[in-house]
Structure 1
Amino acid sequence: DDQVLGTRQMQIALRRLRKFARQGAAEELDVDGTIRETAKQGILDVQLVPERRNRIKVLMLFDVGGSMDAYIAECEKLFSAAKSEFKTLEYFYFHNCLYDHVWKDNHRRSSTRMNTWDLFHTYGRDYRVIVVGDASMAPYELKSAGGSVEYMNEESGEVWLRRLRQHFDKTAWLNPEMEGYWHYTQTISWIKEIFENHMFPMTLKGLEDMTRYLSR
């Protein structure tokens, strides 16, 4: 359960977070319906149904830079797995803690910023949110206005994390740091509390527990 995961294992674990519905034009062969109607008519009567689509919408927020550099490979695998499993997948980046903006392209972070309020207005409550980060930072980065190491944020990261939790119906924090070390870092405990214990390790069991929670 605590092994390092490959992309395929992540795909299988994330597959729990799927709710299918038939939507759109009738383009997929309905085998049972075709057999039934053909038997009734006495001639071939092809029946079509809309394609089954996964209607779960996922928003992923990735912590990048600093201590997260050690987990780049794992995060790349996770994103690849999520992209293959979810038809509606949106993603953004932040550094250490969520503040008043996120960005789409880490190489052009200053020109691809989105205000976090705009993020809330753009993506509805029904999006399942997965925050990916080690939750490891100086206490002031989470608790204090002006705590960001990059600029002078007017409100603390804790305020923004609580807003995130209030806006979306289901949010979870996925932590690549080994769970056995979590109690050594104060901010991990604080963020876990903010997320009402919905922080999960990036292991097979952690992913399964996370998707089980998000799919309820």
Structure 2
Amino acid sequence: MLTNFFLHLKAAGLPVSTREFLTLLEALQHRLAGYSLEDFYFLARTCLIKDEAHYDKFDRAFGSYFHGVTELPGLEAEIPEDWLRLMAQKHLTPEEKARLEKLGWDKLMEQFKERLAEQKERHEGGNKWIGTGGSSPFGHGGYHPEGIRIGGPSAGNRTAVKVWEERSFRNLDDAIELGTRNIKVALRRLRRFAREGAAEELDLDGTIRGTAQNAGWLDLKMRPERHNKIKVLLFLDVGGSMDDHIQLCEELFSAARSEFKHLEYFYFHNCIYDHVWKDNRRRKTERYPLLDVLHKYGDDYKLVIVGDATMSPYEIIQPGGNIEYMNHESGAVWLGRLLEKYPHAVWLNPEPRHLWDYRQSIQIIRRIVGERMFPLTIDGLEQAMRQLNK
């Protein structure tokens, strides 16, 4: 059919070439035209017509050739499976979402236990049982302002207070160099604090020798800056909402690795609890108890926590509130222990500063860290480094 279409265009006096026709066929093989005649029209015009002066003539030739045709034969649409799954999700209006009630931690857990005991079959699109779609607080793929996500992908609302599934996070790349220069400059404010006479000094003896060897021309020699003794303990939030900030955090991590010789780092998710880890691929098997970290690294370390502090408030203030397991003590308790051990501490938040007042969890964290939270910007980094210097 398309060969005859090509010949029809040439017969209409359009300067179309074989090479342009092959380009059109290749584009169709890659499904760039979608499944409608309108999509094919725009693709064919783009591939075959190089001069806008021929657009009208192409329109007439195209219309006469495809007169009465509503779709291209042989390009039957295959609806992707994930599209079909999304159709099962219930799309609620803002008013309908506002009417959904937050149950509170105790009631949510109580009802969850009841559903597990009572439910005997699969459910979709409901507002009570554990299922997919719908507005039930239990399951996945739907919407509820405060629920438990079970056994499936997130619908993107980020309102779950617990997640029952195996999740994997990737390690941050410490070799990222693009865009880290300004971050390095900001971090050097902290390095200068520990240089014991930060600026380079004139090496008088070396200057005299150099000048003498240079036939009397002045040859200034400077003593190199003294060794950087600053110690940094870095905690990095990974996964979940932090996926939106991976590039920025990798640039910070890369800059910190190059600027501080004595740098120790650990990962956590959302809030710091009784254990942390160094390798996200083995975070279930190779954990570091936080108490061991507190005992191993002295209070001369500068504590830097990086995270968006965006989570369910239960994860901070409620024992058992961890989104992935039942923690015996709340995140607030463990954060308090960290801040007590390390008086020189800051929290760097990649979320835009104007959003902080609208996130309850951010406000809670700010109260815990004593207003030592700074935005993860160049200006915010400089403020944080000055804070650590106090």
Mapped to 2, the partners of 1:147 and 1:180 lie a distance apart of 27
| Residues 1:180 and 2:357 are matched in the alignment | no
Mapped to 1, the partners of 2:183 and 2:331 lie a distance apart of 29
The CA deviation at 1:37 is 8.3
1:114 match = 288
**Greater Rg over alpha carbons, structure:** 2
1:59-92 Cα deviation digits (max 9, x unpaired): 1100111000010100000011111111101100
In 2 relative to 1, CA 10–144 (structure 1 residues): closer, same or farther, beyond 3 Å?
Answer: same
Mapped to 2, the partners of 1:12 and 1:166 lie a distance apart of 29
Q: Which amino acid aligns with 1:68?
A: M
1:14 match = 187
**1:24-103 superposed matches below 5 A:** 31-35=203-207, 52-103=226-277
1:113-133 Cα deviation digits (max 9, x unpaired): 100000100111010011000
1:168 match = 342
**2:234–2:266 contact (8 Å) kept in structure 1:** yes
1:98-145 Cα deviation digits (max 9, x unpaired): 000000001111222100000100111010011000001101111110
**2:195–2:225 contact (8 Å) kept in structure 1:** no
Q: Which amino acid aligns with 2:385?
A: T
1:141 match = 315
Give TM-score scaled by structure 2 length. 0.48
2:363 match = 189
1:44 match = none
Moved more, 123-132 or 50-59: 50-59
Q: Which amino acid aligns with 1:185?
A: R
**1:56–1:86 contact (8 Å) kept in structure 2:** yes
1:166-212 Cα deviation digits (max 9, x unpaired): 01121110000000001111010110111110000011110000001
| Residues 1:210 and 2:384 are matched in the alignment | yes
Mapped to 1, the partners of 2:309 and 2:210 lie a distance apart of 59
C-alpha RMSD of the superposition:
2.2
Query: What count of residue pairs does the alignment treat as equivalent?
Result: 198
**2:353–2:375 contact (8 Å) kept in structure 1:** yes
The CA deviation at 1:149 is 1.2
Q: Which has the higher contact order (CA 8 A, sep 6+)?
A: 1
Mapped to 1, the partners of 2:231 and 2:185 lie a distance apart of 17
| Residues 1:153 and 2:359 are matched in the alignment | no
**1:21–1:55 contact (8 Å) kept in structure 2:** no
1:105 match = 279
Mapped to 1, the partners of 2:210 and 2:371 lie a distance apart of 55
3-state SS, counterpart of residue 227 of structure 2: strand
Alignment gaps of 5+ in structure 1: 23-29, 40-48
Mapped to 2, the partners of 1:112 and 1:139 lie a distance apart of 27
Mapped to 1, the partners of 2:335 and 2:373 lie a distance apart of 13
Q: Which amino acid aligns with 1:62?
A: L
The CA deviation at 1:50 is 8.9
2:215 match = none
Alignment gaps of 5+ in structure 2: 1-177, 212-222
In 2 relative to 1, CA 15–38 (structure 1 residues): closer, same or farther, beyond 3 Å?
Answer: closer
**1:127–1:169 contact (8 Å) kept in structure 2:** no
Q: Which amino acid aligns with 1:34?
A: G
- Report sequence identity in percent: 54
